[in-house]
Amino acid sequence: MSDDTMAPATTPQQAKAADGLRDRRTVLRCAAMVALAGASAPILAACGGSDDASGGGTTPSASGSSSAPSASSSASSSAPSSSAPAGGGSVLGPVSDVPVGGGKVFTDAKVVVTQPTAGQYKGFSAVCTHQGNPIGSVENGQIVCPFHQSHFSITDGSPVSGPAQTALPAVNVKVEGGNIVESA
C-alpha cells in the first residue's frame, strides 16, 4: 500500500478550508513572534551589545531597575543660592555637596563633579562610556556605574576597573559664589 491510499479523501472545499486555517495560524505565529521580539528587544539590548571601547550601546530606559542609582545619588534637594550665575553657565549645586576625595552626581545635568583635593573641582559626563548607562555614585574615591560595575578615577575620569575602556569626557565646571557651575 502506498501513502496515497492511506490518506483520507478530501473535497476541494475541505482542502481550501485547511489551507486557510494554515494561513491564519502562520499569520498568528508570525504576529506573536514579532510582538515577542519587539517587547524583548529593549531588555536584551540593555544587557547585550558589544564590549568595545566605543561607548556605543543603549540609552538608559525610563523604567526603574533594581540596579538603578539610588535616590541618595540624585541631584541635591537643597536649592542653589542663585539660578543664574554672573559668569554664565548653569548652577549644578552648592560646593558643600562635593566632599574632598569624593564627588556628587548631578543627575538632571548628567554631570558628575569630584573634588580630588581640597579646592580642586573636576567635572565629567555622568554617562558611562561602556554602554551609555547613567553613573550612579562616587564611592571610595571612584566614580561608579552600577550597571556593569565600571569604576573611574575622580582625578581624570579614566577607567579604573570594569568593562569600560574609555575615560569619561571632561565637563567644564567652576566655583562661583559658593556654587558649582557648569560652564561652556
Q: Average pLDDT over the chain, rounded to whole?
A: 74
Provide the pLDDT confidence category of residue 69 given band limits of 50, 70 and 90. very low
Average pLDDT in the 3-28 region? 60
- Which pLDDT belongs to residue 9? 64
Share of the chain above pLDDT 90, in %: 51
Residue 110 clears pLDDT 70, i.e. is over it: yes
Minimum mean pLDDT range among 87-96, 99-108, 151-160 = 87-96
- Which pLDDT belongs to residue 127? 98
Provide the pLDDT confidence category of residue 43 given band limits of 50, 70 and 90. very low
Provide the pLDDT confidence category of residue 77 given band limits of 50, 70 and 90. very low
* pTM score, whole prediction: 0.56
Residue 53 clears pLDDT 90, i.e. is over it: no
Cβ-defined contacts of 166-169 (< 8 Å, 24+) = 166/53, 166/54, 166/55, 166/129, 167/129, 168/112, 168/124, 168/125, 168/126, 168/127, 168/128, 168/129, 168/135, 168/143, 169/124, 169/125, 169/129
Residue 131 clears pLDDT 60, i.e. is over it: yes
Q: How far is CA 130 from CA 80, 103, 183, in A?
A: 32, 20, 25
- Which pLDDT belongs to residue 29? 67
Q: Indicate the DSSP class of residue 183.
A: -
Q: Can you give the three-state secondary structure of 28-94, one letter per residue?
A: HHHHHHHHHHHHHHHHHHHHCCCCCCCCCCCCCCCCCCCCCCCHHHCCCCCCCCCCCCCCCCEEEEE
CA distance 157 to 161: 12
